[in-house]
Amino acid sequence: MPHFQSLPPDVLREVALHAHSGSDILNLILTSKLIYPHLCDFLYHDIHVRGLQSSLKVIQFLLAHPHIARTVVSIVLRPNYLLGATKTRLDGEQDLARAVERLAPYLYQLQRFIWDGIEAAPNEMWASLRAGCLQLKHIGTNIGNRKLDPDSEIFAFSDLRSFTLTTELHYQNLYYELSRQRGEHLPQRLWTMLIDRCPNLEFLIIGDEGPTMHSERTLSIKPLLQARWPNLRSLFLSNVRFSNPFDNESHLDDQRLALFITGHLQNLRRLKYHPHPNVGIYTESYDPRQISPLRLLSSSCGIPSEHFTSQLGLLRQVHLTDKSYRGEQEWSAVKRYLGSLSALEHLSIQLDFSAEIQDGSYKFDKNRKIVYKPVRHDQIGELQALYESCPRGLKSLKLVICTSAEETIYWRDIPTIFHRRQNVRSANSGKGLGRYLSLKHLEVWKVLKKSSSEDNLGMAAARIALDENPGLVESDLSPSPRRVIFL
């Protein structure tokens, strides 16, 4: 330890820069009082806070220590994470926004700021951030239950690299003025900012429901189809509409979206589009052989048509969480799709086994009338078949399963489900026999369905829990699952 303490401060800072996480930096700092002064500011490079009081404490601490505030690179504030709207909480968000407004002039190195509140923050906060944080290139906000201010200062930024506009609703219902709209038109200043003043945009989220999965707001984003961002790498669209469904040109939306996607194929790697899984790059409306192979690495767009699977060979991450897949027909389509993804490493999927009768499970009575048999799904067999359809390189698997209380799976079934029956190398290959298992991360979230209302609540809870566990970073781990979560 004495030798370590004697290292020059520049060397210590370089070590901290290569630390894997904030906890690693904290452990390094706590090893010696001599190290602390040189590295304490590293603890505040990336700030992500949940809870109103915690957010206020962090911002007030930075106000009291401006020398540390000058080192902050990223701030994400979620003052009312997973909480409903109340007057007290809304007032607290206003206090927090005013504190951020006062802090902004000290945030010299701030590059990223996300406001995930019940409602959008006041204009004064965004004006202060824009004036005081010249390196701020990544911004985002939740817009809640109020109409967007067309003169908002958040639309005055330029040369952004990422922009996030979420519609998570912390109220029980959306205000009538907004809910009656078939597609809420966003302010023109938003599109002017993104299309005209942000040519280097790399990451765009519009309409995401947030961790509560609750949003009743539909956004009209037709101007988006005119944009061309050569560096766009990630695009996430949820609860959006390109035109009024009664518009005479609504049938052209698929083609326009397809042209938009093909215009970004050079760098686009991650795509999420939930309203209609088979639109855009997955439609039958144009021949995929006429375009270069898609280079997507992550997809959350449902299952594509079969003639597109050959275009998705580079996919390493797939999220089939747009709905609960149920029944033999949908499961077969899922397995065919997964079997075509030779590079797949991370999979998230929702499955519904709660139906009491399997497809085609019936017999004839003595009067030759069809009588359905109460035959339940072979959940173990179906899950094993699903796992076997995945490529051998699969590293991470997240399952959200809806089952009935009478028939479900248990912890003891896990070894059977995730043991490949074809997981033995051929003796004729000259490589001998042996287990070949690459799965390193497994999560199983189980929801017991007792009624339709409980099913909705249970699935919502499971999806919130699933959101709490981000994907693993690639690393060399042991050949067995590193972490198994079974609830």
What residue ranges do the domains of the chain occupy?
1-43, 316-422+436-469+479-487
The more confident residue out of 254 and 437 is 254
The more confident residue out of 485 and 254 is 254
Rounded CA separation 352/462 (Å): 13
Tokens coding 457:
């609540």
Q: What is the pLDDT of residue 249?
A: 60
Average per-residue pLDDT for the chain: 78
Task: Give 372's contacts (C-beta < 8 A, 6+ positions apart).
Answer: 357, 361, 362
Rounded CA separation 39/10 (Å): 10
| Band of residue 465 on the pLDDT scale cut at 50, 70, 90 | low
Q: Count Cα atoms within 13 angstroms, Cβ side, for 359.
A: 8
Neighbours of 261 (CB within 10 A): 22
| Number of residues that this document lists for the chain | 487
Rounded CA separation 38/24 (Å): 15
For residue 27, pLDDT over 50 is answered with yes
**Mean pLDDT within 239-243:** 79
Q: What is the pLDDT of residue 247?
A: 61
- Provide the whole-model pTM: 0.74
Q: What is the pLDDT of residue 127?
A: 98
**Mean pLDDT within 285-302:** 55
Region for 145 from its dihedrals, namely left if φ exceeds 0, alpha if ψ lies in -120 to 50, beta otherwise = alpha
Residues β-bridged to residue 320: 349
89: three-class secondary structure by DSSP: helix
Tokens coding 135:
């390196």
> pLDDT tens digits, residue range 105-164?
999 999 999 999 999 999 999 999 999 999 999 999 999 889 899 999 999 999 999 999
Please choose, from the candidates 218, 165, 230, the residue with its C-alpha nearest in 3D space to the C-alpha of residue 191. 165
For residue 281, pLDDT over 60 is answered with no
Task: Give 344's contacts (C-beta < 8 A, 6+ positions apart).
Answer: 315, 316, 317, 318, 338, 390, 391, 393, 394
| Band of residue 273 on the pLDDT scale cut at 50, 70, 90 | confident
Rounded CA separation 231/389 (Å): 34
The more confident residue out of 114 and 21 is 114
| Band of residue 473 on the pLDDT scale cut at 50, 70, 90 | very low
Q: What is the pLDDT of residue 320?
A: 87
Which DSSP symbol is given to 337?
H
Q: What is the pLDDT of residue 379?
A: 86
Q: What is the pLDDT of residue 121?
A: 95
Q: Count Cα atoms within 13 angstroms, Cβ side, for 77.
A: 25
For residue 374, pLDDT over 70 is answered with no
Helix boundaries (H) for 152-241:
176-179, 188-191
Q: What is the pLDDT of residue 476?
A: 31
Q: What is the pLDDT of residue 458?
A: 57
Please choose, from the candidates 233, 239, 230, the residue with its C-alpha nearest in 3D space to the C-alpha of residue 209. 239
Which DSSP symbol is given to 192?
I
**Mean pLDDT within 426-445:** 57
The more confident residue out of 91 and 381 is 91
| Band of residue 421 on the pLDDT scale cut at 50, 70, 90 | low
**Mean pLDDT within 173-180:** 72
Rounded CA separation 370/61 (Å): 72
| H or E segment and range at residue 5 | helix 2-5
| Band of residue 228 on the pLDDT scale cut at 50, 70, 90 | very high
